[in-house]
Structure 1
């Protein structure tokens, strides 16, 4: 596996300078955004609204980081919460097998915390009825409201390894506020993943009914945040590997 991993790293590094390949990837992203390609997928029967490539990337990160808590802003249909919960369940199962302990579904301390300003009743009901529900806690409220931020911090202090995913309102101001509130909760060598940074690279008329667009979006917020937060760096190897991703410059690794 060491040789294979080295070969993967060499291929990924080579992609960064492959302009033709990037042009093809950019074209695919542009052509699939309006038809809502990302809405075609589900995880364990809940719509996840992500590109498959980013789902695979998150699987790799969760397995590598082995977080005790995953914080997610933006819930929608709950597919991402179910995905994260199922990955944490898999981690617990593997830990139990290694230690020879009895596997007790739903008894693990590993949890997913989701925050959304509007958790629709039918989505909440579906999430709470799902087999993964015991691992999921939801907070309804603005992710940048002081009382919500304090509640999340109070929960996070009980966990050693934290991974953060930001995927709610995509304006520059909102995402920057989320980064200031939650990125600090990210554990060393873990990640704060900022989704939909690709808005910066899309045509200005791509989001006519949204308050975000080029110049005002998650990527511009990431760039601004990193100016004063050297404890994070963009892990370019992830976007180079994926090519197809909604989060270019959005996979932030905590390095100090």
Structure 2
């Protein structure tokens, strides 16, 4: 059996490993309560992601070889820097030399914008300040996506059901076949309601509920890559790795 086949077998076994699944859920609950994801950075900028999801994104970016990555939600810019760095590595290995990242946020704070613009990876990054679902914002991104061969989308802004559903409707059509629309923080659906006392989202109103509604009408074009879920176990995006299949 090849190494790749051994990996596939182990990942498949995770799906039915009840003890491992329970342990993973316990760790997710306790680590989210402890603010675990806020402890990491990428090339000097806070990334606010779990290491497992960072590795999953690296694998996807290498496999898909995007010439455009679209991200909603910028915060401190770590995810933008990560994506740009992965594109830089792809280019060094023969991938697209001019691949770009477009980041969108309703409020790009001046100190974060300055840090991103001064970063060595800035040449691959452009930013749009505005609501990710505003028609003029979507139109700007559509123009950026024109002529691109491989487009990857990451949604990580406002986590309410209504907002994420509108983002999916706007940005999922830009994803190229074989690439992904990754919806972060779907884990909100699986957490206790009291985890979000000061947020407009929670169980029943979150990115995962939006994903499930979106797939009711777009299931012929996108599917959840459950292999990624089974591999990671610890992830803020269960059911959120949506692969475009048609």
Q: Structure 1 length as normaliser, TM-score?
A: 0.94
1:253 to 2:218 alignment: no
Give the unaligned 5+ runs of structure 2: none
Deviations 1:30-56 (A, max 9, x none): 001122100000000000000000000
Counting only pairs closer than 5 Å after superposition, residues 32-51 of structure 1 correspond to structure 2 as 32-51=31-50
- Corresponding position: 1:144 with 2:143: no
Please name the residue that 1:61 is paired with: 60
- In the other structure, the counterpart of 2:164 is 175
Is 1:26 aligned to 2:16, yes or no? Answer: no
Deviations 1:95-145 (A, max 9, x none): 07xxxxxxxxxx932000000000000000000000000000000000000
Provide the C-alpha distance between the structure 2 equivalents of 1:47 and 1:31, rounded to a whole number of angstroms. 21
Q: Show the counterpart of 2:103.
A: 114
Aligned partner of residue 94 in structure 2, secondary structure: helix
Q: Deviations over 1:164-189 (max 9, x none)?
A: 00000000000000000001100000
Deviations 1:67-122 (A, max 9, x none): 000000000000000000000000101107xxxxxxxxxx9320000000000000
Equivalent residues in 2 for 1:68-147 (5 A)?
A: 68-95=67-94, 108-147=97-136
Displacement after TM superposition at 1:151 (Å):
0.8
Deviations 1:144-169 (A, max 9, x none): 00110111001111311000000000
- Secondary structure (helix, strand or coil) at the match of 1:95 reads coil
Per the TM alignment, residue 17 of structure 1 is displaced from its structure 2 partner at its CA by 0.8
SS in structure 2 opposite 1:90? helix
TM-score (norm 2): 0.98
CA distance in 1, matches of 2:127, 2:18: 42
Summarize deviations over 1:222-252 as a string: whole Å, max 9, x none: 0000000020000000010001000000000
Unaligned runs of 5+ in 1: 97-106
Q: Which residue of 1 aligns with 2:179?
A: 190
- In structure 2, the residue corresponding to 1:137 is in which secondary structure? strand
Partners in 2 of 1:15 and 1:108 — Cα distance? 38
Equivalence for 1:239: 229
Tell me the residue number matched to 1:7: 6
* Aligned-residue offset at 1:21: 0.6
Give the number of aligned pairs: 245
Query: 1:218, 1:121 → 2: CA distance?
Result: 28
